[in-house]
């Protein structure tokens, strides 16, 4: 397997010529699809902006309605439980664009809490969480062994993330190193494979995975494949899902891009990366199914996304996490979870694990964001952070500065080559206050 990956890297120029026609067709079809959506959305925005000029004879009445709309917006933001940065963002939009800004807030301002998909996710999670396994004896044991860390553990359990023991984990500092083991584990699949990723791109990595999965389906292995529509935009053909279904895959697409502004939840995406094999092995991390994550193509220099391979009791939480969103997208909550339970693990270890899930459907307060703050708060000597985006709220900045004042050695690594230039500017904007207060910041020069 390692030789195969090395051969692919050595033949990068040739790889781009293979299947070039199909790649170009996929890119063009995705580009046209994106353009059509953009034109339709722009047309509707134009109507929203031009409408006041067409109603000039009713200007007084129209602007009275807009003033009332503004009052509604302020009241709605005041009562919203989300962060102040979220509220300030919408206030700036409605102040700068008093007409279209208020209309945009009416369309999208409550997307995170009120849209139909979000409500369905919350309802499904509430019914599915009963399938998680809780181990009070493990919680007590962990509390006695690790009294400080157990505070965070209790918080995680209170937010639906049970602790487990008897686990093994293999860490990959580069995504490209994970694929070799991942493909080998797929070859050993006997019952089922669950796949959930944000980005899916047709290329060498997908071709390899696709070939293995097709063979496994022919052998009777059940394959469920869930991906985000926005993450696959421009990276797959328009009939990608249909072709997979014809080959025996079970496929669901999360939150398809819609042409109507009221349904254009561009930022309501599924960023989970999960791959589970027979309930015995699970992969997660930052890598997606695309060639850049294996450094087979050069997009932004050397791509550094990490991953982890899990075995043991923790895998069941990964199974439940996948099936939660699968039930939402398939609109089928009558799933027999016991079908997917593996035999009791033979692993005996003191590795304790939680599986954290977060998102607007779970809690607008951001459970994972709170966890980061707690980890920083409990840091005693050092805290090293590596992140592609350093976009910080005021509360997070203050938490970091408090750690420095306690004498904690805080270091942050960000990429030197960005994937989005405007995000790079925002990241660098945050450098000033952090550097001024003693936080050391480094950039990963080889790439992203």
In a domain, 302, yes or no: yes
Same structural domain for residues 60 and 162? no
Residue 11 confidence (pLDDT) above 50: no
pLDDT-based confidence at residue 69 (cuts at 50, 70, 90): confident
Q: H/E element holding 62? A: helix 59-78
- 362-407: per-residue pLDDT in tens? 555 567 888 899 999 999 899 999 999 998 988 899 999 999 999 9
In a domain, 16, yes or no: no
CATH number for the domain spanning 313: value is: 3.30.870.10
Same structural domain for residues 133 and 172? yes
- 305-317: per-residue pLDDT in tens? 999 999 999 999 9
Sign of CA pseudo-dihedral 228, 229, 235, 236: positive
In a domain, 41, yes or no: yes
Q: What's the structural domain count of the chain? A: 3
Count the Cβ atoms, other than its own, within 10 Å of residue 363.
16
Q: Which of 240, 164, 224 is nearest to 189 (CA)?
A: 224
Same structural domain for residues 398 and 322? no
Same structural domain for residues 217 and 153? yes
Same structural domain for residues 203 and 305? yes
Distances 425 to 48, 212, 431 between C-alpha atoms, Å: 31, 41, 10
Same structural domain for residues 136 and 93? no
Q: pTM of the prediction?
A: 0.80
- Can you give the pLDDT at residue 421? 87
In a domain, 69, yes or no: yes
Distances 378 to 44, 353, 371, 408 between C-alpha atoms, Å: 49, 18, 11, 10
- Among 25-39, 74-88, 393-407, 431-445, whose mean pLDDT is lowest? 25-39
Average pLDDT over residues 185-204: 96
Residue 398, helix vs strand vs coil: helix
In sequence order, which ranges of 79-135 are alpha helices (DSSP H)? Answer: 84-96, 100-108, 111-114, 116-128
Q: Which of 203, 193, 265, 187 is nearest to 228 (CA)?
A: 265
Spatial separation of the C-alpha atoms in residues 257 and 5, rounded to whole Å: 34
In a domain, 17, yes or no: no
Same structural domain for residues 79 and 30? yes
Given 289, 318, 340, the domain boundary residue is 340
The range of the structural domain enclosing residue 392 comes to 379-444
Same structural domain for residues 43 and 153? no
Same structural domain for residues 247 and 193? yes
Spatial separation of the C-alpha atoms in residues 106 and 236, rounded to whole Å: 33
pLDDT-based confidence at residue 21 (cuts at 50, 70, 90): very low
In a domain, 227, yes or no: yes
Same structural domain for residues 268 and 314? yes
Mean pLDDT of the chain: 83
Spatial separation of the C-alpha atoms in residues 66 and 46, rounded to whole Å: 17
Region for residue 5 given its phi and psi (left: phi exceeds 0; alpha: psi -120 to 50; beta: otherwise): alpha
In a domain, 65, yes or no: yes
């Amino acid at each position: 397997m390692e030789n195969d990956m090395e051969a692919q890297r050595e033949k990068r120029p040739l790889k781009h010529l293979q299947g070039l026609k199909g790649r170009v067709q996929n890119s063009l079809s995705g580009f046209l699809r994106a353009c059509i959506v953009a034109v339709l959305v722009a047309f509707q925005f134009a109507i929203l902006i031009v409408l006041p000029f067409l109603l000039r004879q009713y200007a007084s009445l129209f602007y009275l309605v807009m003033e009332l709309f503004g009052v509604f917006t302020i009241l709605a933001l005041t009562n919203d439980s989300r962060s102040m940065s979220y509220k300030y963002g919408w206030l700036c939009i409605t102040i700068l664009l008093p007409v279209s800004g208020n209309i945009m807030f009416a369309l999208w301002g409550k997307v995170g809490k009120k849209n139909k998909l979000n409500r369905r996710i919350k309802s499904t999670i509430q019914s599915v969480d009963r399938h998680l396994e809780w181990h009070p004896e493990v919680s007590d044991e962990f509390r006695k062994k690790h009294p400080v860390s157990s505070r965070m553990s209790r918080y995680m359990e209170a937010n639906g993330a049970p602790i487990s023991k008897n686990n093994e984990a293999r860490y990959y500092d580069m995504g490209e190193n994970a694929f070799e083991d991942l493909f080998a584990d797929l070859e050993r699949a006997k019952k089922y494979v669950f796949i959930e990723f944000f980005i899916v791109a047709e290329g060498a990595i997908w071709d390899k995975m696709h070939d293995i999965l097709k063979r496994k389906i022919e052998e009777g292995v059940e394959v469920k494949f869930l991906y985000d529509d926005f993450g696959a935009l421009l990276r797959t053909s328009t009939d990608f899902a249909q072709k997979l279904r014809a080959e025996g895959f079970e496929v669901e697409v999360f939150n398809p891009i819609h042409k109507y502004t009221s349904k254009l939840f561009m930022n309501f995406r599924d960023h989970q990366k999960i791959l589970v094999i027979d309930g015995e092995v699970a992969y997660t991390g930052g890598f997606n199914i695309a060639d850049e994550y294996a450094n087979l193509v050069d997009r932004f220099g050397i791509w550094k996304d990490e991953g982890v391979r899990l075995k043991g009791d923790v895998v069941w939480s990964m199974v439940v996490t996948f099936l939660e969103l699968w039930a939402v997208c398939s609109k089928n909550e009558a799933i027999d979870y016991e079908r997917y339970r593996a035999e009791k693990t033979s692993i005996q270890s003191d590795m304790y694990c939680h599986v954290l899930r977060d998102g607007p459907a779970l809690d607008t307060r951001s459970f994972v964001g709170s966890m980061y703050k707690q980890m920083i708060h409990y840091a005693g000597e050092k805290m090293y952070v590596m992140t592609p985006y350093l976009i910080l709220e005021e509360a997070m900045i203050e938490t970091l500065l408090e750690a420095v004042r306690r004498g904690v050695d805080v270091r942050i690594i960000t990429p030197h080559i960005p994937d989005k230039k405007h995000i790079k500017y925002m990241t660098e904007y945050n450098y000033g206050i952090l550097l001024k207060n003693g936080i050391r910041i480094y950039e990963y020069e080889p790439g992203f």
